[in-house]
Structures are given as structure tokens and as C-alpha cells.
Structure 1
Amino acid sequence: MAKTSFQVLLCGDARIKAVDAHSVQTFSRHTHEQFGIGLVTRGAQKSFSCRGMVEAGAGDLITVNPNEVHDGAPLGDAGRSWKMLYLEPGLAAELLRDGCGDNAGAGVTAPGALEFHAPVLRDAALAAAFVRAYDSAISTLPGARLAAEQHLLDLLAKALLRHRYAKARSVAPTSAAQSMMLDDPLSDWSLAELAQACGMSRFQLVRAFARNTGFTPHAYLVHRRILLARQLIAGGTPLAEAAAASGFADQSHMTRVFVRKYGISPGAFAISFKT
């Protein structure tokens, strides 16, 4: 099998993205704006997640919540293969609300109120439900969209999503620094400026920021820039323009960061919105 193969497949519903991949690559920490649920079909991997380091092997489901920091590295030289479905938060909320019924799902309208309850799930029945949902999502047969909705509803209703509960933080808040970089990711922020905004030393900021977000301040800024680039590319902005508008030195710099985080080039990502 090739060392790296990464396909973004068309789905009948534009709110769903399907991926079929095999890779030996180690992905750096990143986030997605969508809910992601997938199946490891060959090999195994380890990854940083909301619950610390976890491992997943063939037959395991893997999940990620919107804006949840994670990475991924293969276990073994052969790499791993996996299939993923990425769902827009609004679609996931809609399906779960329907799956809960009118009363139980009455408050499930805000996408931010939901989360997958575990980064790795070992359940053969759920794995089979994923395969049905994935196959119907990428199918071009008549009636496939209806089948995809039905199977996704079944999958998400099987206790994969729950109400999000606030997590207590035992370290100093760094929201001021996060907001500064979120609002203006193109600025050349200094560590001193960010630390001052949070009322702490530079050393304290680096430690607290990593604990609160999973990123160092610099890594967080680069990630905000690559997310901005993704949004621009998805909207049809040419790659060179997207690189300049999102704060990268040039298109090559953007491409290196993009591939390191997502395993796909910006050009291939752009094509997935045109086919």
C-alpha cells in the first residue's frame, strides 16, 4: 500500500465531508471546525485528545469535537488507514435533536452544547453503523441522501453525542491572550504583550496557555492563521492570496503547515470544493 493516500470524497449533503486515507505521517496538533467520526480500518495510531493520550487500532471508532485539539501518530512503520465523516455542527445538532425525540431533545439546538463522550470507541455494532453511514454518504445511487440521513441519525443517536459539561480549570485563565490572537491573527504579537494582558509573566503564560488550550502561544497563532487560510480557500480564494491574507510568508510556508496538520495540500483541499 502507498505510504500516503488521502481522498476527500463527494457527499450528497454539502454539510458532510468524507475522507478515505492511509498515512505514515505524524500530524501536529490541530483542530477541525466540524464533528469528526471515523473508523480505523488497518494499523493503529496514538493521539493526544481531551482525555490525554489514547490509542486506536483496526475496528475502533475515533471521534473529535469541533475545535478540540488533537494530533496523531502511527503505531508501527506500516502506518494506518482510516475513513472519516466530518459533520457541520448544525447538522449534528439537528440529527441528535431528532434522535432524542421532541422532549428529550428540546434543548439540543446549540451545536456548542454537544460533544462526543470519548475519543476512541470499541464497539462492533457502532463500527457497523458507521460503515452504513459512510457508504450511504458517498453513494451516488438514487435515494442515497435519504439513506445517509437515516444511517447518520442511527449512528449519532446511539449515545455517541451528549450534552457538553463545563470543565473546571485549575490554572490561570489565558482568555485575554487567546482573544487577542483570535481577533487579529495577522499581528506580530510579542509574548510580553500577551502576558501583560493576562496579568502574568511570560513563563507563566506559556505554561498556563498550553494547559488551557493544548497549544503554546506561538502554535496557537499559527493554527489560527491556518484556519483562516482554510476558510479563504474553501471560499474560492486563490492559494497565493490566501497565504498572504492569513499571515504566512508565502504559499510554500502555508502549504508546509497545512500538510503537517491535515495531511492534504491546500491545492487538493481547494479541489474538493470544486468537484
Structure 2
Amino acid sequence: MLASERSALTKADTHGILLRPEHSILGSSDRLGWQSFYASHQEEHPYEASFVANDHHLIIVHLNGPVRIRRNLSGERSEAKVGTGGLFILPAKRDFGVALMAPLETVHLYIHNDLIEAAVRELCRDDLDAVEFLPRMGEHDLLLEQLARLACTMLKEQQTDLFADSVARLIAAQLVRHHTIARHVELPRITGLQPSQMARVRALVAEKMEAPLSVDDLARTANLSPIHFARQFKRTTGRAPYQYIIEQRVERARDLLRGHLSIAEIAVRCGFTHQEHLTRMFGRLTGVTPAVYRRSLL
């Protein structure tokens, strides 16, 4: 299933930890329309509860600590003192119980199972049913910690689903490569895209700029899998696919600002979700707002 065919993930798709009255939500992706993963940033307070299985994989990253955690996973009980950056990984379709002994600041990431399945198909020799996802409690994974902290920034900036989809694919690939028991394939060499592949990608972005383009769309144009495409694209351009799309949209906006269309209409024609989104991205790349840039032309 493509990202454009999925519904946005919300609190309703979580285990319900975030719905408990003890916790204070500092930010979440509920209203951002992210379809590939759900993110929340909160202050949790001591509690003990059991939760039924969920269809999506859960990663919790501790932003402070240490704090003592007890877990009951399918009758197997464990306890650990988890420090800053420690992980709590719960594979999909597993009931569990947890007890938190002290206040804790966390990021919760729910990765859509579609992305996990796609990563398994590309990164493992085994079928999905033969891949065992490993529960974690207290282990460290620097990349997952960095991506969790990036998710906090994305929540504050109200980033779009395009950015979220790219981050979710990185998380899914890291989860499959480093937190499973499976026969992993050797990744192809990073040699960059062929000129013909890059030309097709450029043409697609120019033609479909108003549409909600995804990494899947660009990868299909280059006849590559999404994970392999993203790696080769970064080698060719020095940028992630979502960064390239944003840059092209801002460049189109610069051209249109020479005319008489309203800034709101320009935002729509360049594929931004609204005028504020265009203003934020335009300012980040050019240092000025669209309105200031237009006045400078006059």
C-alpha cells in the first residue's frame, strides 16, 4: 500500500499509553496527517498497566533518566534501569505490561507495518513470517535516538508528511537491519543514479509538483526500491529526496512570485499544504519571506 492510500496515524492507532491521565503530551503528530508513522513527545509519570497488541511497531526513546522500568512480555518478566537515550522497542502484535517507577520524558514512535514489511522484503533474505523482531529495554541505538529527537523538532515545526515519510523509512530500515533475527542481504554499492534515472526524477518532480509526491513515486520512476533509491539519490545530489522536492518547489515559487498570483495561490501551485508552509520553507532556503522577496523584485 502506498503512503497516499493510507490513513493518517493518530492516537487511536496506539496502545493507549498516551491516553492515560498521568501523562502530559508536549507535542504529537495527530493533526499533521502523517501516514507512515505516528510521533508523540510527552512527560510520563509513574504508572503500571497492561496493553493489548497493536498492528504497528513501537519505539520509545528516553530523553532523560535513569529510571527503572518493569516489563511483562508474554509472561516473561524483566526489569532494567534505563538511562538517557535508552530504547523500549515493542514489536507489533505483542501484548505487554509495563510499570514506570519515576517521572520520565519520552518520544513514542509508531512505525506503520507497511513500511516494516517493505524494509523486510528489501533487506532480508527471509520471508516476513520468518523474521523475528527483538524486543528491547534499555539498549542504545544512536541513529534511532537521533531520529527520535528529530521527530520532536518535526512536531514543533509542523513538518509535512513528505518529510515524515522519509524519516519513517530510515527508522524502518534501522529496525529491520539491527533489531531482528534474520538473514540480511548485503546492501548494493552506493554508486549514484544514472543520468537517465536522474533525468526521469527531475521530470516527474517538475510535472507533478502540485501533487503529494512521495519517495515511492520517485523510486518507481528510477526503477529502484525506495530504500535503495534514497541511498543512491543522496550520493548523486548530496540531499535526501524530500529536500530536493522542497528545493524545487521553492524555486518554482520564486519564479511565480514575479507574476501577479497571490502568495496563497502560489503555495497551492507549488505543492505546499498552505501559505504558512510555503513561507516557512521559503524563508528557510532563501532567508526572506515570499512577501519580502516579491517586494525586492519591484
**What TM-score bracket applies, with the shorter chain setting the length?**
0.3 to 0.5
TM-score scaled by length of structure 1: 0.46
Point out the structure with max Rg over C-alpha: 2
Higher relative contact order at CA 8 Å, sep ≥6: structure 1 or structure 2?
1
TM-score scaled by length of structure 2: 0.43
